[in-house]
Amino acid sequence: MKVLLVSSEVHPYSKTGGLADMVGALGKELAREGHEVGIVTPLYSGIREKFPDLAPMDWRLDLPLGWQRVQGEIWTLNPEPNVTIFFIRQDGYFARPGLYSGPGGVDYPDNAQRYIFFAKAAANLARYLPWQPDVVHVHDWQAGLVPILLQHERLQQGSGHHLRTCCTIHNLAYHGVFSADNYALTNLPLDYLNPHGIEFYGQMNCLKAGIAYSDVITTVSPRYAREITTPEFGCGLDALLRKRQSSLIGILNGVDYDEWKTSQNRHLRYSYSDRNLAGKLKNKLALQEELGLPVNGEIPLFGSVTRLADQKGLDIEIAAVTEMVSSPMQFVLLGSGSPAYEQACRELAARHPSQVAVKIGFDAGLSHRIEAGCDFYLMPSKFEPCGLNQMYSLRYGTIPIVRATGGLDDSVVDVADNAEQATGIKFEEYSSRALAKAIRKALVLFSEPKLLRHYRRNGIQADFSWERAVKKYVDIYGGSGR
């Protein structure tokens, strides 16, 4: 099967979050299963310097964007057999310091123009590539217009092969909503700008276009597929999602175990396994030393690697840790985001320097060391379409403490779910009180070495491989899957 993935970010070329990890890993695993994979993504600043094997195609883009025409190029890279990355080069749009926003985290004012052009470029590739894809799989709002562009072109021609389309919602909270004036940039007739199509309360909604016009819609966990059909989690699109419920399927994301592994990992000082956990303790001691905390294996170490945003539950996490540091425990955090949360985390560390260490920013190596060196991992999200860090933690034998929502509920087994297969601790109520209670449970668990090893080994042995998930995507690509 020939599959064309379309995403605004792809690991290891560009990344702001789990979207990049998912698309990169999905493409790699599809190729390993024998499928031919193309991945369309923008050529952002710095990519050519880091990947010098990139080469331009003899293919020039000259696409209408409203009344003007915009030119671009396509550059390619073949990182492994059966995989071709198609980079859309348009320096005016993509050669910028950030992917979606500039200094201070403010979105670029021309994001509508940037990603309408990207969607048109991807649709152009899908139609005219020498190898015709069997399915075009678009991800999130930045690629949401591709299905409607493909459908409209086919209808205009009056014939032609129907390219099957799949739209994956990674986070429904981000729609890509812009003023209706930007709709002219699509060069589509006004027929599509209606409440059943792209229109959304007088504006245009790019993700809504993907939901309305794709053949099949997926989310990144089964529970999230159910949650988004409700007003509480539907972000104003729940009615449309209920209407399309027969085409809505939840598939839990996988983990790239080539990267997230406990042995021969360049980011970890010591290797370990489910049979020999001695290296995990050594990694903990090394992490405490690296972050300036008292080096003591007998103190339970809690960690978090996260975007500092409301969705991630930072308000209740900071409050719960503030309450619980009166107990013998340590807490480390790596992340960036809201300036208010960044300041609150710094203040927490300043008040408790022997118990709390905070690093603002992103550090791939440190994220691995936190996942591996901690005893427990905090992930108290308000909502979580899938989440990957809890699965990374499990592979590293670090026990996740999660709120039972979305993919967190699908991937973590609480003792109340199955005592024999337990891998973590869940709580339901979104409050610092409920999270603090879960932390107290963790402190009790830490005091029982035999039970602690049981949880850790269950976590390390849990299978969230992409091989499992890819089989479900292939079924969907072929028209089945339910």
Instruction: Report the CATH superfamily, name and number, of domain 2-254+466-477.
Output: Glycogen Phosphorylase B; (3.40.50.2000)
pLDDT band per the 50, 70, 90 thresholds, residue 18: confident
Give the pLDDT of residue 87: 98
Peptide bond preceding 328: is omega within 30 degrees of 0, i.e. cis? no
Q: DSSP 3-state assignment of 294?
A: coil
Q: What is the CA radius of gyration of the chain?
A: 23
Give the pLDDT of residue 480: 67
CATH class of 278-461: alpha beta
- Please provide the DSSP assignment of 106-123 as one string: PBPTTHHHHHHHHHHHHH
CA 284 to the chain's CA centroid: 27
Give the pLDDT of residue 157: 78
At 425, list the tokens. 């601790």
Residue 310 in this model has a pLDDT that exceeds 80: yes
What is the average pLDDT value for the chain, to the nearest integer? 95
pLDDT tens-digit profile of 36-76?
A: 999 999 999 999 999 999 999 998 999 999 999 999 999 99
The CA distance from 366 to 78, in Å, is: 29
Question: Can you give the residue ranges of every domain in the chain?
Answer: 2-254+466-477, 278-461
Crossing angle between the packed helical segments 146-157 and 111-128, to the nearest 10 degrees: 50
pLDDT band per the 50, 70, 90 thresholds, residue 478: confident
406, 221 Cβ separation under 8 angstroms: yes
Give the pLDDT of residue 159: 61
